[in-house]
C-alpha cells in the first residue's frame, strides 16, 4: 500500500489499521473485531474511545462499513491494497438451539434419519466442529440446550446401513 492514504473512518481506533471485520459496541463506536475482543476479554468495561461504560459485551457487525471498506479496497487494488474477505457470521445460539432440541426429540435410532456418507463428506469438518464447540460453550453458561446428541450422528462414520 505504498502512497495510499487509508480513510480515517476505515481505521480501527485501537490498532489504527484498516478494519477487516468492523463491529459496533453499545456506545456506538466501531472497532475491528480482532482489536476489541481482546480489550473486552481482558476485563475492560469501558469504551476505549469514549470511556463510557459498555452496557454489554455484544459486538454488532457493521455490514455497511464493511461493504464500503471492501469497495475502497477494490478501487485501490492497483495501488497495492489487498481486498479483505467477507467476515463469517458466528451461529446465533437462539436460532440454532430450537433446531437442536427438535432433532434431539426424536430419540429412537430408527426414527433418526442418517446422512449419506457422500453428504457428510461434503460438509466442512472445521465449520461443524466450530459450531459444536460454540454451542457447547454456550450450553455451559446455563442455557439448558441439548447440543451434544444430534451432532454425534453427524460426526460418527456410518457403520451399518438401513434398508
DSSP string for residues in 14-45: TT-SBPSSEEE-TTS-EEEHHHHHHHHHTT--
Instruction: Please tell me the predicted confidence (pLDDT) of residue 26.
Output: 95
Domain layout of the chain by residue ranges = 8-79, 93-155
Instruction: Please tell me the predicted confidence (pLDDT) of residue 3.
Output: 75
Query: How many residues make up the chain in this entry?
Result: 163
Q: Which CATH architecture has domain 8-79?
A: 2-Layer Sandwich (3.30)
Instruction: Please tell me the predicted confidence (pLDDT) of residue 149.
Output: 44
| Verdict on whether the full-model pTM lies above 0.75 | no
Please list the rounded mean pLDDT of every run of 10 residues in the chain (163 residues).
83 96 96 96 95 94 94 86 70 74 63 54 53 52 47 46 51
Burial 97-118 (b: 16+ CB within 10 A, else e): beebeebeeeeeeeeeeeeeee
DSSP string for residues in 108-120: STTTSPPPPHHHH
Rounded CA separation 110/49 (Å): 57
Residue 42: half-sphere exposure toward Cβ, Cα within 13 Å = 9
Instruction: Please tell me the predicted confidence (pLDDT) of residue 94.
Output: 76
Amino acid at each position: 500500500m505504498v502512497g495510499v492514504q487509508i480513510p480515517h473512518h476505515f481505521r480501527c481506533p485501537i490498532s489504527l489499521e484498516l478494519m477487516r471485520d468492523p463491529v459496533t459496541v453499545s456506545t456506538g463506536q466501531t472497532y475491528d473485531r480482532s482489536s476489541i475482543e481482546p480489550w473486552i476479554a481482558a476485563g475492560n468495561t469501558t469504551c476505549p474511545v469514549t470511556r463510557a461504560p459498555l452496557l454489554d459485551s455484544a459486538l454488532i457487525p457493521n455490514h455497511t462499513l464493511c461493504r464500503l471498506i471492501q469497495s475502497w479496497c477494490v478501487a485501490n487494488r492497483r495501488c497495492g491494497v489487498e481486498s479483505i474477505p467477507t467476515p463469517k457470521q458466528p451461529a446465533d445460539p437462539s436460532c440454532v438451539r430450537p433446531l437442536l432440541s427438535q432433532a434431539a426429540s426424536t430419540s429412537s435410532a430408527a426414527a433418526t434419519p442418517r446422512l449419506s456418507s457422500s453428504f457428510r463428506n461434503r460438509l466442512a469438518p472445521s465449520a461443524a466442529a466450530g459450531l459444536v464447540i460454540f454451542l457447547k460453550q454456550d450450553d455451559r453458561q446455563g442455557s439448558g440446550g441439548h447440543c451434544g446428541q444430534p451432532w454425534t450422528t453427524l460426526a460418527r462414520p456410518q457403520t451399518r446401513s438401513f434398508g
